[in-house]
């Protein structure tokens, strides 16, 4: 098997097999079918990335189809937001279509199924239907209306369409098998009565098709070749196929291709909820300011917070396409935006918690403009001028009157370097009546060649621009806020998820535009919020320079974590330690260590392993240990993504023969 073939995920394997078995490549067609009842969130990006990614890979059309069959919950606002989000992510759809486009065709097919004795009008109450449907261990019983005549069913269905009945009086059900082990096959509902205004069809219809009837037949009408959905729809596949097989004889000439439904694991993210109903509750109860609140996991919220399309697409790529459900640590998403912004965001200076520093031996009316590099990661980013004067602001946290030798910031008698400027030494402090330090008096030296351990960011008081900074943190303090049977997810709201402060920024930011992104040096990544105006700068904190939650987790929480999770963390640490010495061991010892790594790898997740891919080239032993661990994960069903392919490719070009040997086995 070629390296290219091995790198395919399981859905691509299915498609490749279909092509090899004679399906013309021109028949490939995919779709993304959101329901316009809320904003898209980070969980949807996986489905978006899979379908549109396949479209890009195979140069095949991808339809954007809105599943608009429930007018009580759907709005044009959501349609517009979904289109905006998908475009922002960088994807193009071939056709914009709606399930409502097919209402007449679906109705006509339903009438035909009634005529063939495969559907009937049921007039039971919802409670009675639930009772007679049975349970997973108890077969259902037939409805007393199941044997209505074709003529009576046709008449009732027509009257339902004409609006003669109230909601709930009648429904149309498929006639399949009330004893089927799959409860979805026990005469599922096809149509219900809803007297509601539809955002596209107005009041034309008062009966609306159910999801299972609409979804598969919409795929069929659009001639979608591969209908991709998340794992919760796997039990629906049998019904999907049944409906499809009923309409095929009616329209085979017009629609010759039968779609194939396949399922993948949905994206679950720690410290996050993915239910649109629960996200709507956060909006309606004012916990957040709206669907695009930067704390929300919606795509519009992430965009407003400063996430980039590239970072989200890279995150989906790293997560990969899997068949089994798992929870991805939100820190991986944060890692992706840090990695992206590190390459692109200009470095600037801002002080969020200001403390005035007076440089006593600097001339009163003097000012200087120093050259400052915009981004050391980007040679084309150029530089800018930053002003310096007698009085500057530094962070309060960067000064202590007394501190140990391990405190490398400013302290009395100590020296630090000011970024892009001079070295200063703290001489004394000024305090208010409560004993709080209000000023630090320092002296400076023009000799910048001296070696000092600390470097601080700063802003000239004279030139500082005031700005509102919104520091955001995770919205929930629990890793799985909606997984507790005895508690409401709202109980886990983080009371400190938003902190609004007044800060000072360097004057180069005075003309910053909405959406522009910056690294506030030593603080994190920030972008200009939508609320900013010409007279008021507003910045959102996108993410810190490092993962602050990893260190902040309470020790008692660590004790309560599952033993398996503890073993995983221990395993990856031991693997790293074994790898450090691997290349210096004699061959016999290497074999023993190799076996130990392979055994430990069984308790490691991909999210723990992936950071080791960035190990320095000179640390060949650690890279070998990572390669061995990766081998076990791949053997246990992990699908290759681009990060894995790049890691293997780089290893194959390495000078270390042991590393090349292990990489060649993958």
pLDDT over 60 at 317, yes or no: yes
How confident is the model at residue 550, as a pLDDT? Answer: 59
Q: Which residue has the higher pLDDT, 24 or 639?
A: 24
Q: What is the pLDDT of residue 569?
A: 53
Name the token pair of 330: 């939100």
- The answer to whether 316 touches 43, Cβ cutoff 8 Å, is no
User: Is a pLDDT exceeding 50 seen at residue 5?
Assistant: no
Q: State the pLDDT at residue 327.
A: 87
Cα distance between residue 238 and residue 177, in whole Å: 12
Give tens-digit pLDDT for 133-165. Answer: 999 999 999 999 999 999 999 999 999 999 999
Half-sphere exposure of 511 (CA within 13 A, CB side): 1
- Give the whole-angstrom CA distance, residue 506 versus residue 509: 6
**Nearest one of 185, 215, 180, 175 to 68, comparing CA atoms:** 215
pLDDT of residue 514: 97
Give pLDDT, residue 593.
87
If you average pLDDT over every residue of the chain, what do you get?
A: 92
pLDDT of residue 590: 84
Tokens of 519: 């690294």
Work out the average pLDDT over 352-362.
97
Poorest-pLDDT segment among 285-289, 470-474, 571-575, 614-618: 614-618
Q: Over 60: is that where the pLDDT of 286 sits?
A: yes
- Check residue 385 and give its pLDDT: 97
Task: Assess contact for 234 and 279: CB atoms under 8 A.
Answer: no
Chain segment 531-554, per-residue pLDDT in tens: 999 999 999 999 998 876 655 554
pLDDT at position 552, please? Answer: 53
R_g of the chain, CA atoms, integer Å: 31
Question: Beta-carbon neighbour count of residue 285 at 10 Å?
Answer: 9
Q: How far apart are the first and last CA of the chain?
A: 11
**Per-residue model confidence (pLDDT) at position 517:** 97
The owner of tokens 């004409």 is: 162
Mean pLDDT of 485-507: 95
Lowest mean pLDDT among 160-174, 229-243, 498-512, 590-604: 590-604
Mean pLDDT of 249-253: 94
How does DSSP assign 380-396, residue by residue? TS-EEEEEE-SEEEEEG
- What pLDDT sits at residue 516? 97
To the question of pTM greater than 0.95 for the whole model, the response is: no
Q: How distant, in Å, are the alpha carbons of 413, 472, 480, 517 from that of 527? A: 37, 12, 28, 4
Task: Supply the residues annotated as catalytic.
Answer: 35, 266, 276
**Angle subtended at Cα 415 by Cα 412 and Cα 421, rounded to the nearest 5 degrees:** 130
Q: Which helix (H) or strand (E) holds 662?
A: helix 657-664
- 206-235 confidence digits (pLDDT tens): 999 999 999 999 999 999 999 999 999 999
Question: Is 348 or 4 the better-scoring residue by pLDDT?
Answer: 348
- Find out whether 110 and 190 touch, Cβ atoms under 8 Å: yes
Quote the DSSP letter at residue 441: E
Burial class (CB in 10 A: 0-12, 13-18, 19+), 105: middle
* Dist CA 209 CA 30 (whole Å): 22
Q: What proportion of the chain, given as a percentage, has pLDDT over 70?
A: 96
What is the pLDDT, as a whole number, of residue 370? Answer: 97
Task: Determine the pLDDT at residue 1.
Answer: 37
**pLDDT the model gives residue 586:** 84
Q: Which residues pair with 174 in a beta bridge?
A: 119
Quote the tokens at residue 569: 């963390």
Backbone angles phi, psi at 195, to 5 degrees: -90, 80
Number of residues in the chain: 666
């Amino acid at each position: 098997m070629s390296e290219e073939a091995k790198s395919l995920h399981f859905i691509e394997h299915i498609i490749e097999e279909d092509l090899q078995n004679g399906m013309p490549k021109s028949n490939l067609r995919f779709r993304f079918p959101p329901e316009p009842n809320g904003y898209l969130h980070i969980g949807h990006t996986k489905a978006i990335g899979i379908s549109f990614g396949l479209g890009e890979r195979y140069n095949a059309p991808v339809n954007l189809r809105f599943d608009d069959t429930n007018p009580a919950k759907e709005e044009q606002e959501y349609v517009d937001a979904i289109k905006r989000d998908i475009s922002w992510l960088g994807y193009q759809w071939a056709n914009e279509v709606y399930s409502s486009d097919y209402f007449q065709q679906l109705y006509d097919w339903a009438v035909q199924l009634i005529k063939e004795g495969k559907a009937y009008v049921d007039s039971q109450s919802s409670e009675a239907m639930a009772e007679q449907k049975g349970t997973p261990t108890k077969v259902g019983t037939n409805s007393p209306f199941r044997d209505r005549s074709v003529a009576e069913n046709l008449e009732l269905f027509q009257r339902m369409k004409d609006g003669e009945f109230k909601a709930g009086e009648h429904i149309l059900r498929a006639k399949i098998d009330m004893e089927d082990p799959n409860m979805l096959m026990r005469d599922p509902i096809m149509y219900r009565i809803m007297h509601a205004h539809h955002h596209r069809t107005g009041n034309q219809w008062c009966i609306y098709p159910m999801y299972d009837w609409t979804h598969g037949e919409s795929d069929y009408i659009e001639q979608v070749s591969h209908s991709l959905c998340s794992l919760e729809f796997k039990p629906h596949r049998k019904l999907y196929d049944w409906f499809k097989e009923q309409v095929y004889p009616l329209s085979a000439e017009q629609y010759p291709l039968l779609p194939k439904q396949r399922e993948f694991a949905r994206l679950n993210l720690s410290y996050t909820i993915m239910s649109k109903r629960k996200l709507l509750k956060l909006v309606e109860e004012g916990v957040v300011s709206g669907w695009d609140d930067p704390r929300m996991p919606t795509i519009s919220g992430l965009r407003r917070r400063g996430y980039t399309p590239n970072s989200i697409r890279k995150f989906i790529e790293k997560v990969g396409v899997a068949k089994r459900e798992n929870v991805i640590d939100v820190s991986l998403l944060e890692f992706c935006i840090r990695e992206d912004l590190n390459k692109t965001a200009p470095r600037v200076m801002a002080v969020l918690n200001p403390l005035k520093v007076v440089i006593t031996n600097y001339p009163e009316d003097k000012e200087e403009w120093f050259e400052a590099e915009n981004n050391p990661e980007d040679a084309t980013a150029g530089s800018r001028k930053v002003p310096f004067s007698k009085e500057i602001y530094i962070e309060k946290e960067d000064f202590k009157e007394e501190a140990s030798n391990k405190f490398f910031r400013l302290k009395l008698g100590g020296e630090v370097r000011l970024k892009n400027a001079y070295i200063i030494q703290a001489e004394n402090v000024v305090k208010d009546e409560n004993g709080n330090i209000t000023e630090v008096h320092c002296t400076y030296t023009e000799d910048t060649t001296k070696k000092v351990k600390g470097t601080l960011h700063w802003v000239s008081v004279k030139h500082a621009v005031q700005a509102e900074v919104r520091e955001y943190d995770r919205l929930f303090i629990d890793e799985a806020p909606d997984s507790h049977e005895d508690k409401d997810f709202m109980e886990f709201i983080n009371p400190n998820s938003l902190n609004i402060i007044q800060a000072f920024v360097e004057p180069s930011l005075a003309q910053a535009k909405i959406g522009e992104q910056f690294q506030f040096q030593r603080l994190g990544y920030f972008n200009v919020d939508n609320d900013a105006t010409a007279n008021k700068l507003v910045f959102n904190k996108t993410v810190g320079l490092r993962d602050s939650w990893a260190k902040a987790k309470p020790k008692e929480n660590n004790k309560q974590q599952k033993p398996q999770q503890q073993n995983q963390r221990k395993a990856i640490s031991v693997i790293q330690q074994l790898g450090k010495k691997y290349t210096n061991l004699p061959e016999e010892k290497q074999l023993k260590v190799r076996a130990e790594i392979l055994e430990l790898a069984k308790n490691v997740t991909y999210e723990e392993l992936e950071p080791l891919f960035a190990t320095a080239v000179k640390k060949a032993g650690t890279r070998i240990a990572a390669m061995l661990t990766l081998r076990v994960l791949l053997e246990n069903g992990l699908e290759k993504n681009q990060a894995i392919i790049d890691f293997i490719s780089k290893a194959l070009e390495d000078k270390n023969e042991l590393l090349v040997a292990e990489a060649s086995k993958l």
